[in-house]
Amino acid sequence: MNDHTEYPSIVLGGGCFWCTEALYLRLFGVRSVEPGYSGGALPNPTYQAICGGETGHAEVIRVTYNPEKISLRALIDFFWEAHDPTTLNRQGADVGTQYRSVIFYADVEQQEIAEASKAAAVGRFEKPIVTEIAKLGPFFPAEQYHRNYYDNNPHAPYCQFVIAPKLAHIKKGGTP
Domain positions in the chain:
9-166
Catalytic position from the list 16, 19, 51, 159: 16
Is 159 an active-site residue? Answer: no
Q: Which CATH class is domain 9-166?
A: alpha beta
DSSP letters for 65-89: E-TTTS-HHHHHHHHHHHS-TTSTT
Coil, strand or helix: which one is 19?
helix
In angstroms, the CA 78 to CA 99 distance is: 18
User: How many residues would you count in the chain?
Assistant: 176
Tell me, what DSSP letter sits at residue 94?
A: E
Q: CA 140, CA 62: separation in Å to the nearest integer? A: 10
Report the C-alpha gap between 67 and 54 in whole angstroms. Answer: 36
Q: What's the Rg (C-alpha) of the chain?
A: 15
pLDDT in tens, the chain (176 residues): 445 469 999 999 999 999 999 999 999 999 999 999 999 988 999 999 998 888 999 999 999 999 999 999 999 999 999 999 999 999 988 999 999 999 999 999 999 999 999 999 999 999 999 999 999 999 999 999 999 999 999 999 999 999 998 888 877 665 55
Distance between CA atoms of residues 8 and 128, nearest Å: 30
Cα–Cα distance measured from residue 77 to residue 116, given in angstroms and rounded to the nearest whole number: 10
State pTM to two decimals.
Answer: 0.92
Please enumerate in sequence order all residues whose Cβ is within 8 A of that of 150, keeping only pairs 6 or more positions apart, or say none.
18, 19, 21, 22, 159, 163, 167
